[in-house]
Structure 1
Amino acid sequence: MSNRYITSHFPLISIVLFSLSFAIFTQIYILEQLVELGLYNGMREFFSENGIKLTMLFLLMFFFFMIFSALKLIADTTIELSMLFFSKDEEGNELNKVHAGSWIYLIASIVALLLSQYVLFIVAIFLLASLVYFIFLVYKISNVLSAGGLIGLIFFHMIFWSALVLAVIYALVKLYNSFMASLPL
């Protein structure tokens, strides 16, 4: 039996690398916008160029780190909740087998870091890693699920994540519309 703690740090490393990937892209985008708006030269009077870039990278990385950490917490909770509802495993032994899937996110985060100049690739890699991890999860725990439990688990996750994404999109659209309506004509 292998030591479970050998791979226990992989989720943290994956979160850091995905956060860094998104932070690098966002930093480049913001710096381009600041230059285009003519604000960057004014900022350089107060900060060095490297100081601006490092501070912005740190703050963006921290922001994305919080988002990915929250997503991991939500994902872990929904997995355990779905196991409570649909699984015959009361000990949690099957859930321990799923932790080996942290390799999926680790490899994906390394690829995302290599492609950090392209946000669509980063998002696609994250979504693909999430899909592969979910398939891995279903495969690993399928022996403690009945056919109805398997269908219930899949639909539980699909409905939960769809509702969460739609709620966030709805909130962003409402915020955008209220912002646009408040602008003077």
Structure 2
Amino acid sequence: MSNRYITSHFPLISILLFSLAFAIYVQGFILGELANLGIYSGMLEFISESGIKLTLMFLLLLFFFMVFSALKLIADTTIELSMLFFSKDEEGNELNKVRAGSWIFLGASVIAVLLAQFLLFVVILFIVASLSYFIFLVYKISSTLSFPGLIGFIFFQVIFWSVFVLAVVFALLRLYNSFMASLPL
């Protein structure tokens, strides 16, 4: 019998590593843009180069950590809510079986740190890990779901995340359009 708490820290490590991968890329991008605009050399007069890099890395790591933590909280809530609606498992035993899927995100996050200079690869890796985890989740909990319950579970997840992503994209586009409209011609 294995101890079920052995993998309990994997989600935290995965969130930290994915946050680090995105922070490394964005830090390089921001520093490059600051140098192109001529601001970086002025900043070096007040703060050392390592001070700028460490401060920027800390802030970006914190930002991405909060984003991924919020996404995990939302994902856990939607999974448990859909289990409430569609599953016959009232004890929550099936969710304990799913915890082993944290290996998927851990492996993907380690690879993401190694590919941190390539944003597209990191994003694709995150999406592939998320889809793989979803397939693993459906496979593990399918024994407690009837066929209509399984369809309901899958549609609940797909519809929720589709609406969520579309709402975020819509909000970003509205913000971008209002910013561009406010610029003088």
- Superposed, 1:38-49 pairs within 5 Å as 38-49=38-49
Aligned with 1:5: secondary structure? coil
Distance, in Å, in 2 between the alignment partners of 1:55 and 1:85 is 45
Distance, in Å, in 1 between the alignment partners of 2:173 and 2:139 is 37
RMSD, matched Cα: 0.4
CA positional deviation for 1:163: 0.1
Give the residue type in structure 1 aligned to 2:32.
Answer: E
Distance, in Å, in 2 between the alignment partners of 1:62 and 1:170 is 25
* Aligned residue number for residue 51 of structure 2: 51
- Superposed, 1:56-95 pairs within 5 Å as 56-95=56-95
Give the residue type in structure 2 aligned to 1:42.
Answer: G
Distance, in Å, in 2 between the alignment partners of 1:36 and 1:175 is 25
* Aligned residue number for residue 103 of structure 1: 103
Distance, in Å, in 2 between the alignment partners of 1:33 and 1:183 is 20
* Aligned residue number for residue 152 of structure 1: 152
Distance, in Å, in 1 between the alignment partners of 2:82 and 2:136 is 15
Instruction: Write out per-residue CA displacement over residues 39-67 of structure 1, whole angstroms, 9 at most, x where no aligned residue.
Output: 00000001000000010000000000000
Is 2:179 the counterpart of 1:179? yes
Aligned with 2:154: secondary structure? helix
Give the residue type in structure 2 aligned to 1:62.
Answer: L
Give the residue type in structure 1 aligned to 2:62.
Answer: F
Distance, in Å, in 2 between the alignment partners of 1:19 and 1:94 is 29
* Aligned residue number for residue 168 of structure 2: 168
- Superposed, 1:111-150 pairs within 5 Å as 111-150=111-150
Instruction: Write out per-residue CA displacement over residues 86-108 of structure 1, whole angstroms, 9 at most, x where no aligned residue.
Output: 00000000110001100000000
Structure 1 outlier segments of 4+, above 4 Å: none
What are the ranges of 5 or more consecutive residues in structure 1 without an aligned counterpart? none
CA positional deviation for 1:131: 0.3
Aligned with 2:5: secondary structure? helix
Scaled by the length of structure 2, the TM-score of the pair is 0.99
Aligned with 1:45: secondary structure? coil
Distance, in Å, in 2 between the alignment partners of 1:139 and 1:102 is 15
CA positional deviation for 1:2: 1.1
* Aligned residue pair count: 185
Percentage of identical aligned residues: 74
Distance, in Å, in 2 between the alignment partners of 1:96 and 1:2 is 13
* Aligned residue number for residue 22 of structure 2: 22
CA positional deviation for 1:184: 1.0
